[in-house]
Amino acid sequence: MYGSLHISESITRLSVAGLVLWLSLAATLATVVGVAAWSVGHATGTHYSPAVVRKLQGQAYVRGLVAGSERASRAGGGRARVGVVRRKSYERGYAAGYRAGRSAAP
C-alpha cells in the first residue's frame, strides 16, 4: 500500500479521562508550588515597596557607572577610541551596578 497512511495498532489511544486527569494534576501541582512560593515570600518579613526598589536600583546604577568609568579610564588610556572606551565603560558599569544591586537585596 504505497502512498497510504497506515497507523500502527501499537499506538495507544488517548482517552479523554486520561487527558482530564493529567491536566488536573498539572494544575494542582502548579497551585501547590505557587502557594508555597507565595507563603515563603511573605514569611521572611522583608517587604520592599516599589519606591524603595527604584531608589536602590538608581543608587546601584550610579555606583556601577562611576566604578565602570574609573576602570575604563585606567584601562583605556589615551590610545583607545572614545567609542570603545565609552562602550567598555558602560558594560563594566552595568555589570558593577548589577552586582551591587544584587548584593543590596536581602
Query: Where do the domains of the chain lie?
Result: 16-104
Contact call for residues 101 and 57 (beta carbons, < 8 A): yes
Residues 6+ apart with CB under 8 A from 72: 85, 86, 88, 89, 92
What pLDDT is attached to residue 23? 94
Q: Please check whether residue 69 is in contact with residue 89, taking contact to mean a CB–CB distance below 8 angstroms.
A: yes
What confidence category does residue 5 fall into, taking pLDDT thresholds of 50, 70 and 90? Answer: low
Considering the entire predicted model, what is its pTM?
A: 0.34
Residue that wins the pLDDT comparison between 98 and 29: 29
Q: What is the mean pLDDT of residues 61-90?
A: 75
